[in-house]
Amino acid sequence: MSVSYRQPGVVLTDRRFTVPLDHDAPDGETIELYAREVVATDKTEADLPWLVYLQGGPGFGANRFIGKQAWLGRALKEYRVLLLDQRGTGNSTPANRQTLPLRGGPREQADYLAYFRADSIVRDCEAIRPTVTGGAPWAVLGQSFGGFCTVTYLSTAPEGLRAALITGGLPSLDAGADDVYRAAYPRIERKVAAHYARYPQDVERARRIAEHLLAHDVVLPNGYRLTVEAFQSLGIVLGKSDGSHRLHYLLEDAFVRTPQGPALSDAFQEEAQGLLSFVGHPLYALIHEACYGQDAAPTAWAAERVRAEFPQFDAAKTLTGDGPLLFTGESVHPWTFDCDPALRPLRETADELAENKGWLPLYDPARLAANEVPVAAAVYHDDMYVDTEHSLETAQAIRGLRAWVTNEFEHDGVRAGGSRVLDRLISMSRDEV
């Protein structure tokens, strides 16, 4: 039974759907999907087209907006919106350290998680669309990984789409995980340089913290082991609109004096563990590299292997000189599973996924070249998470796609920009600008 309730300016309805775990075995095991339907209060009885939102990640549930926050207000002017918790996330059937042991051992868990990539998410959308829209095509808004899913949607089921709107999520159609990370580390280095240019005092602060971590075994209050590599991974915030400022404030009060000497402050530790922990989104860590698997070759911990090609990220070597410590960005490593208590029970499962030799292509270049769905995409110049060159190559490969390349926003522009990004994409998809 669906339940409706109100927030300022909107009416929300909880929706639940049952879909096959494996869409090629429709009579087999099923999982549950949760979605939140949102409509403007003054349009509850209107016959509106639908917009389904695909969140970034992988592994994050849809935004929990209050009222008409961020881009939602613009969307509700003309759409009913479906905020979908992709399989395994949010209120959909969960996949985490508590539930995955129900599958069996690491091999069985990895086999199960192989059904949590973009191809399965798109087939989920197509399975529930007739129930939601009565069979009519809907528009899709894909942010980051949601944009990857949208390109898969255009490749496999374009008949389900009336328009595709993509923000910071045009993937390479043929790059493997190694290619993705080989392009990523130089971008990350540029973001770190920009941060230090803004906050030069953070150079010494970051070095001091790294030196402390190399000399001490630090375990955060939630059990997270804060190694120097884990500390460097806090650079993931630098790809967001407020990330540089947030990192600066984290570093500025990192130490307190104690009877035993300088120690990392409780405030620093609390903030750091909130940024580092995967307890709320373990799927991100588990299937992140699998999102780039497109052939029979295993991803084999690509981010860790490729990092070795960039010795400037080696903290121990950096600290022997006087150069700035480099933070890292959106990457998952074997040590991630050793550091995080929410992931430790899943380390062998992650190893199994890293050795998977059965990934199938997620995109169909020929079908994209013949695309007839209106597509508009925001490409954020020097996006830390998605390579601009890869995105522009894909923009050229999708027939009719209109790209808006901008450096006004970071990767989270659709959130930070309020209605502006979505408004422009809608207008572009209609050839109004």
DSSP three-state, residue 114: coil
Q: What single DSSP character describes residue 330?
A: S
The number of residues in the chain equals 433
Contact 96, 55 (CB under 8 A): no
427 has catalytic annotation:
no
Give 412's contacts (C-beta < 8 A, 6+ positions apart).
168, 239, 240, 241
* Mode of pairing for the β-strands spanning 80-85 and 50-54: parallel
Distance CA 99, CA 105 (A): 12
- State the sign of the Cα–Cα–Cα–Cα dihedral 45, 51, 56, 57: positive
- State the sign of the Cα–Cα–Cα–Cα dihedral 160, 174, 356, 184: negative
Give the CB-side neighbour count of residue 52, counting CA atoms within 13 A.
29
Please identify which of the residues 85, 178, 202, 383 carries the catalytic annotation: 383
391 has catalytic annotation:
no
Please identify which of the residues 212, 281, 288, 411 carries the catalytic annotation: 411
Distance CA 370, CA 11 (A): 39
Helices (H) and strands (E) in the chain, counts: 18, 11
Contact 341, 96 (CB under 8 A): no
411 has catalytic annotation:
yes
Task: Identify each DSSP E strand in 173-301 by its residue range.
Answer: 255-258, 261-264
Which position has the token pair 């959308």?
A: 125
Distance CA 108, CA 131 (A): 32
Contact 316, 377 (CB under 8 A): no
Which position has the token pair 């949102």?
A: 38
Give 231's contacts (C-beta < 8 A, 6+ positions apart).
209, 210, 213, 272
Please identify which of the residues 85, 92, 120, 144 carries the catalytic annotation: 144
Active site members: 144, 383, 411
